[in-house]
Chain A
Amino acid sequence: MSTTRRDEELSWGPREAHTVLHHDTPRRSGPDKVRGAALYSHDRRLPGLCYGVLVHARAGVGPVEVDLAPALALPGVLTGLQLREEVSFLGQAVAAVAAETPEQAADAARAVVVALDESGGWSLTPEAALAAGAAQVTRRGNVSGPDEDGDAEAVAKALERADFVVEAEYRVPVQHHMCLEPHGVVCDYRGGDTATVYASTQVAFGIPGSAAEALGLDASKVRCIVHHMGGGFGSKFSMDTPGRAACLLAKALGRPVHVFNDRAQEFLSAGNRSGSIQRVRAGATKDGKLSAYAVEIDRLGGVGRGAGNPAPYAYRAGATHVATRSIRTHTDSSRAMRAPGHPQGSYVTESVVDELCYGLGLDLLEFRKQNLPEGTWHRQLERVAREIGWYEHPHRTAPGRGDGWTAEGIGFGVSMWGGGGHDGAECAVRIAKDGSVTSSMGVQDLGTGVRTLVAMIAAEELGLRAQDVEPRIGDTDLPPGVGSGGSVTTGSISPAVKVAAHEARLAFAAHVAPVLGCPAERVTFAGGKVFDAQTPDRGLTWRDACATLPGEGLSGYGKWRADLQGSGVHGAQAARVRVDLMTGHVQVLKMVCCQDSGLVLNPLTWRSQVNGAMIQGLGQALLEERVLDQDLGIALNAQLQDYKIPGCLEIPELVALIDEGDTREVPIGVGEPPVIPGPGAIANAVHNACGVRVRSLPITPDKLLDGLAALRAGGATR
C-alpha cells in the first residue's frame, strides 16, 4: 500500500533543516499560566460543587474506629464515609467528609472522632524496624531480601590487592515530591450513567477505569480532563485516596465533589523517593583503576520495597558485589520519583570515587574517565569541567584543608537513563477549510511542554509556525496518550504527531496538486505557503490553499512508530560550591549540565527541565529530608514550613548544555536524567572545598561543622 511506502520514507531529517523544531518556542500554556487563566483540576468550580476533606490519624498505626456523627451534625455537612478499618502507615486517610464549603468541610474533618488502637506499636524508622520485638509491617516481617548480584570472592581478592580501600556507610533520607498542586480530583457526577473527572494526574487515560469502579459506572462513560496539572514528578499515577473518596462522595450525593489532599497529607501519603543506607567497600589501584566495589544496600521504601540503587552506577569496576534488601516501615510507600533509585546510587558511587581518588592522590576527572566507557561521558565531563573552571582549580587531586573563612570546591557526577517511548499514543491532525489546524492527543502536560510539542511537530510538517497550530490535549475524549513517567512522553507522543501531520500533509498535497498543476510529490509546504517545488515563488498562501478544501476539511491520523524516536541518554554535571567554614553553610555557586537526548525538539523548554532538575538535585543534596519521631509515632516535618525545598536565595548560576556531540536525529525524553548527578556532584564539591566528607544527605551545617571540628582535631575526613 502506498501509505506504507510513504511511511517508510518518513524521518525527522537533519536538525539544521527544521524551521520550528529545535528552535526555542515559548510554551503554549504560557499566556494562560501568567494570567491565572490556566484551569487546574484544583481550580475547577462547577454548579453545585461541594468540598470533601480527608481525615487521617495524626499519630501511630493500627485498627481504627471512626465516628462520623459529630461531624455530620455540623452546619453545611452533607455526608461522610469511612475509608478503611486499619491504618497501615502513618497518616493514611481513614475517612472523608463533604460539606458545602471548604471551611465547613474542614470543621467536619476536625470533628470526626478517630479511635486508633495503638497497642500493636509501630516501626517508623529502619532502626526500629530491625530491633528485636519490632512491630511487624508485613506478615512476612520487616525485611525482604537480600538479593545478591556479583562475585563476593572476586571482590575480596581485589580489595586485598587494592592500593587504597574505602569502607564506609552512606545514608540517603526519604525525599518528597512536593508537587505544588496536591493529589486529588473533582468528580463531576450528578446521578445518571456518565461522569467527568478532573484529575491532577500523570496518566489521564488511567483515571476513567478506577473512577468508574468507584462510581459503579461503565469505564467508557467516564471522561477524564487534565488541561493543566501542577507537578507530578512520578507521584501521580493513580487517582489515589482523594480520587476514590471524591468519587464515592459524589456517588452518595449525586453532586460534584472536590477532594484534594491538604499539605500534611501530601507529605504523609502521596509518595516519596525511597531512602537508602549503603555500606560500601571499594578499592582502587595506583594506576587509577576502580578494582572492586561491594555494597550492601538497605532500601527504605516504607510499606513498599523502595527503588533499586544502581551500583557502582555508571562505572566499571574490576569486581562487584551488590546485596540489596528492603526494610519495611509503617510509612507511606515510596513511589517513582524522577529517575527512581538513580540519585541514591549516583550520590554514593560518586562520593566513593572521590574518596578513592583522594586516598591515592589521583585527578578526580581523569579517574572518572578511566573508569567510564569511552565516548559520550568523556566528552561531556570535559565540557562541564571547562565550563566550571576545573582546569584552573587548585584542588584536583587533594581536597582543601578547611582553613580560612571560606573555601570553594568542585565536584562531578554522571547520569544514565533510557528515555525512549512506547506504543499507545495516537494523534489526529485536522486542517479546516478556514485554514485553522488542530493537533489532538489526550496526553497530559505535567509542565514539560508536551502541549507545545503537539503543536510544533505538526507545524513543522505542514510548513507553518508553531502558533498556527492549536494543540488539544489532556482529555480522554481525544485520541489516546500515554502515561508520563520515566521520560517516556516525548518518545511516545512525537512519532504519533509526526505521522498524523504527515498523513494530513499527504492528503492535502493530493488534493491541492491539480490546483497547482503539478504532481502531488512536488507539492511543498513551507513558510506558510503551498507551492510546486519547481516554482517556489508562485503557489498559494496556506489560507488560500485551505479554502479549496471541502467543507469538512481534511485530517490525518497517526500512531507511534519505534523508528521515529530513540532511547539511551547520558549526562555529566559539575557543581561549584562555597563553604563557610565558620557556619558550615554551603552555597552552591554554579551547576553545569551537559546532556544528550537526541534531537532536542524545543531547546527552551528543554533547558527549563534540565535547570529544574539541577535545582531538585540541589534540594536533595542540601535541604530535603523526612524526619520522623519513632517514640511519639509522628512525622516532625510534614508541612512546607518544616520541609525545605530550594527557594530564590539558594539558586546558583545554572548552565544547561545540549551535548552537541550527539547526532541522533530522533527525539528522546529528558525528564529524569538531569536530576541524578546533582547530589553526588555537590557532596563532592563540599569535600573538595574543605576536606570534609559528609556521608549522609542532606549536607547540613551541623554535619559539616562536626566534620570540620574533627578535621582540625586531626581526625579522619568524616
Chain B
Amino acid sequence: MKRPPRPQARTSEASPTLSRRTFLKGAGGVAASGVLAREALANAEPSGPPRADAEVLEGPVEVEFALNGVATKVTVEPRTTLLNALRVHLETPHTGAKEVCDRGTCGACTVLLDDEPIYACMTLAVRAHGRSVRTVEGLASGDELTAVQREMVASDGMMCGFCTPGFVMSMTACLEKNPDATEQELREACRGNLCRCGTYPHVFEAGMRVARGGAR
C-alpha cells in the first residue's frame, strides 16, 4: 500500500503533516512564494523528531538526494512536487514516472523513496532531501533488465505503456520485500496503479512469473 513518507519537517505552525494540499492552502495566493522548513534540508534523518523552531522557506531551494544511487542536486521551489522535480527540473530530466492525475489516484508517478513506493505527484521534492529515490530508469543495468521488467515484456504487461513505469515500480517494491508474493498480494501492491488499456491480467502474470521463478 502506498502512503506518503513520514514528515521530516514541519512548519513553524507545527501542522502535524505537511501534505501538498495543506501546503498549498497555507501558501495562499498564486505567487511563487513558498513556505517550508529549511530544516528539511538540514535534517537528513528521515524520521527525525519534528522541531518547533523550524524556519519558513521561500524561493528556490537546493535539494540533494541519491537518484538511482547517484548523488543528485536539483533547485526547485519549495512547493515543487518530486514528480516535477524529476520530470522537469533535473538537469537530465527523468520522464519515466508519468503525470496522469497529479492527485494520487493513478500511480503512474510511482517511485521508491527509501525503497517505499510513493506517489511522486503527492510528495514535495524537498521531502526527498537526503534520501534515496529510485525511478524506473534506475532498475536495469545497461541493457540488462530486472526480472520484473523482463517478465513484463514477455507477458505483454503493457499496451500504450503509459502506466507501465508505475506498475513496474510497485511490483518491484512488492517483490523485493516479499519474493514469494501471491497474486492477491501483487494485486494489493498494485491497487494504487490504474491502467486504461487493461493490461492487468498480463501484469499479474508477469509478477507471478517472477514470484514463482524466484529470479531477481
Q: Which residues of the partner chain A approach B194 to less than 8 Å between Cβ atoms? A: 180, 640, 645, 647
Question: In the complex, are the beta carbons of B201 and A654 less than 8 A apart?
Answer: yes
With the chains together, A110 CA to B151 CA distance in Å?
A: 44
Question: In the complex, are the beta carbons of A446 and B193 less than 8 A apart?
Answer: no
B118 interface residue, CB < 8 Å from A?
no
State the Cβ distance, B39 to closest chain A Cβ, in Å.
Answer: 22
Q: Contacts A35-B137, A74-B31, A180-B106 known; A263 to B100 CB distance under 8 Å?
A: yes
Q: Which residues of the partner chain A approach B94 to less than 8 Å between Cβ atoms? A: 36
Question: In the complex, are the beta carbons of B158 and A33 less than 8 A apart?
Answer: yes
B70 interface residue, CB < 8 Å from A?
no
- Choice from A43, A228, A615, A649 contacting B191 with Cβ under 8 Å: A649
With the chains together, A654 CA to B80 CA distance in Å?
A: 41
Question: In the complex, are the beta carbons of A35 and B95 less than 8 A apart?
Answer: no
Question: In the complex, are the beta carbons of A34 and B187 less than 8 A apart?
Answer: no
A604 interface residue, CB < 8 Å from B?
yes
With the chains together, A228 CA to B163 CA distance in Å?
A: 13
Question: In the complex, are the beta carbons of B102 and A262 less than 8 A apart?
Answer: yes
- Choice from A42, A103, A229, A263 contacting B32 with Cβ under 8 Å: A103
Q: Contacts A75-B32, A262-B102, A263-B100 known; A35 to B193 CB distance under 8 Å?
A: no
Question: In the complex, are the beta carbons of B84 and A103 less than 8 A apart?
Answer: yes
A86 interface residue, CB < 8 Å from B?
no
- Choice from A37, A108, A449 contacting B96 with Cβ under 8 Å: A37
Question: In the complex, are the beta carbons of A181 and B162 less than 8 A apart?
Answer: yes
With the chains together, A179 CA to B195 CA distance in Å?
A: 9
Q: Which residues of the partner chain B approach A108 to less than 8 Å between Cβ atoms? A: 30
B99 interface residue, CB < 8 Å from A?
yes
Question: In the complex, are the beta carbons of A36 and B31 less than 8 A apart?
Answer: no
Minimal Cβ-Cβ distance residue in B for A40:
B162
With the chains together, A647 CA to B196 CA distance in Å?
A: 9
Question: In the complex, are the beta carbons of A615 and B200 less than 8 A apart?
Answer: yes
Question: Could you tell me which residues of chain A, from 564 to 615, have a CB within 8 Å of some CB in chain B?
Answer: 604-605, 607-609, 611-615
With the chains together, A103 CA to B32 CA distance in Å?
A: 8
A524 interface residue, CB < 8 Å from B?
no
Binds B, one of A23-31, A272-280, A707-715: A23-31
B93 interface residue, CB < 8 Å from A?
yes
Question: In the complex, are the beta carbons of B198 and A229 less than 8 A apart?
Answer: no
With the chains together, A37 CA to B201 CA distance in Å?
A: 23
Question: In the complex, are the beta carbons of B103 and A639 less than 8 A apart?
Answer: yes
Q: Mark A605-627, 1 if CB is under 8 A from B, else 0.
A: 10111011111100000000000
With the chains together, A547 CA to B200 CA distance in Å?
A: 45
Q: Which of A40, A43, A262 has the most CB of B within 10 A?
A: A43
With the chains together, A639 CA to B30 CA distance in Å?
A: 22
A641 interface residue, CB < 8 Å from B?
yes
Question: Could you tell me which residues of chain B, from 118 to 166, have a CB within 8 Å of some CB in chain A?
Answer: 135-137, 139-140, 143, 145, 148-149, 152-154, 156-165
Q: Which residues of the partner chain B approach A102 to less than 8 Å between Cβ atoms? A: 84, 88
Q: Which residues of the partner chain A approach B181 to less than 8 Å between Cβ atoms? A: none
- Choice from B89, B102, B157, B163 contacting A180 with Cβ under 8 Å: B163
B38 interface residue, CB < 8 Å from A?
no
Minimal Cβ-Cβ distance residue in A for B162:
A230
Interface residue SS majority, chain B = loop
State the Cβ distance, A77 to closest chain B Cβ, in Å.
Answer: 10
B190 interface residue, CB < 8 Å from A?
yes
Question: In the complex, are the beta carbons of A42 and B105 less than 8 A apart?
Answer: no
Minimal Cβ-Cβ distance residue in A for B190:
A648
B10 interface residue, CB < 8 Å from A?
no
State the Cβ distance, B95 to closest chain A Cβ, in Å.
Answer: 4
With the chains together, A179 CA to B100 CA distance in Å?
A: 9
Report, as a range, how many residues of chain A touch the other chain.
Answer: 35 or more
Q: Which of B156, B190, B202 has the most CB of A within 10 A?
A: B156
Q: Mark A517-538, 1 if CB is under 8 A from B, else 0.
A: 0000000000000000000000
- Choice from B30, B102, B198 contacting A646 with Cβ under 8 Å: B198
Q: Mark B186-210, 1 if CB is under 8 A from A, else 0.
A: 0110110111111111101000000
Question: In the complex, are the beta carbons of B198 and A614 less than 8 A apart?
Answer: yes
Q: Which residues of the partner chain B approach A181 to less than 8 Å between Cβ atoms? A: 98, 100, 160, 162
Q: Which residues of the partner chain A approach B143 to less than 8 Å between Cβ atoms? A: 31
Q: Which of B30, B94, B136, B197 has the most CB of A within 10 A?
A: B197
Question: In the complex, are the beta carbons of B156 and A42 less than 8 A apart?
Answer: no
B2 interface residue, CB < 8 Å from A?
no
State the Cβ distance, A717 to closest chain B Cβ, in Å.
Answer: 31
Question: In the complex, are the beta carbons of B87 and A611 less than 8 A apart?
Answer: no
A553 interface residue, CB < 8 Å from B?
no
A469 interface residue, CB < 8 Å from B?
no
Q: Contacts A75-B31, A178-B196, A605-B156 known; A103 to B80 CB distance under 8 Å?
A: yes
Q: Which residues of the partner chain B approach A51 to less than 8 Å between Cβ atoms? A: 88
Q: Which residues of the partner chain B approach A548 to less than 8 Å between Cβ atoms? A: none
Minimal Cβ-Cβ distance residue in B for A618:
B198
B101 interface residue, CB < 8 Å from A?
yes
Q: Which residues of the partner chain A approach B200 to less than 8 Å between Cβ atoms? A: 615, 646, 648, 651
Question: In the complex, are the beta carbons of A612 and B199 less than 8 A apart?
Answer: yes
B108 interface residue, CB < 8 Å from A?
yes
Question: In the complex, are the beta carbons of B100 and A180 less than 8 A apart?
Answer: yes
Q: Contacts A231-B196, A263-B101, A263-B102 known; A647 to B191 CB distance under 8 Å?
A: yes
Q: Contacts A102-B88, A103-B77, A231-B160 known; A26 to B153 CB distance under 8 Å?
A: yes
B35 interface residue, CB < 8 Å from A?
no
Question: In the complex, are the beta carbons of A43 and B140 less than 8 A apart?
Answer: no
State the Cβ distance, A47 to closest chain B Cβ, in Å.
Answer: 12
With the chains together, A33 CA to B46 CA distance in Å?
A: 31
Q: Contacts A74-B30, A612-B199, A648-B187 known; A36 to B160 CB distance under 8 Å?
A: no
Question: In the complex, are the beta carbons of A604 and B160 less than 8 A apart?
Answer: no
A38 interface residue, CB < 8 Å from B?
yes
Question: In the complex, are the beta carbons of B105 and A641 less than 8 A apart?
Answer: yes
State the Cβ distance, B192 to closest chain A Cβ, in Å.
Answer: 8
Q: Which residues of the partner chain B approach A614 to less than 8 Å between Cβ atoms? A: 198
Question: In the complex, are the beta carbons of A101 and B88 less than 8 A apart?
Answer: yes
A168 interface residue, CB < 8 Å from B?
no
Question: In the complex, are the beta carbons of A611 and B201 less than 8 A apart?
Answer: yes
A104 interface residue, CB < 8 Å from B?
yes
Minimal Cβ-Cβ distance residue in A for B136:
A36
A434 interface residue, CB < 8 Å from B?
no
Question: In the complex, are the beta carbons of B140 and A45 less than 8 A apart?
Answer: no
State the Cβ distance, A67 to closest chain B Cβ, in Å.
Answer: 14
Question: In the complex, are the beta carbons of B153 and A31 less than 8 A apart?
Answer: yes
Question: In the complex, are the beta carbons of B196 and A107 less than 8 A apart?
Answer: no
Minimal Cβ-Cβ distance residue in B for A112:
B30
Question: Could you tell me which residues of chain A, from 216 to 233, have a CB within 8 Å of some CB in chain B?
Answer: 228-231, 233
- Choice from A34, A43, A76, A640 contacting B95 with Cβ under 8 Å: A43
State the Cβ distance, A231 to closest chain B Cβ, in Å.
Answer: 4
Q: Contacts A74-B30, A180-B196 known; A30 to B156 CB distance under 8 Å?
A: yes
B37 interface residue, CB < 8 Å from A?
no
Q: Contacts A26-B156, A75-B31, A111-B30 known; A36 to B135 CB distance under 8 Å?
A: yes
With the chains together, A102 CA to B84 CA distance in Å?
A: 8
Q: Mark B174-192, 1 if CB is under 8 A from A, else 0.
A: 0000000000000110110
State the Cβ distance, B148 to closest chain A Cβ, in Å.
Answer: 8
**Supplied contacts A30-B158, A33-B164, A608-B159, 6 more A-B pairs, CB within 8 Å:** A33-B165, A35-B137, A35-B149, A231-B159, A607-B202, A640-B100
In the assembled complex, 5 residue pairs joining A and B whose CB atoms fall closer than 8 Å, in A order, are: A37-B96, A42-B99, A110-B30, A614-B198, A648-B190
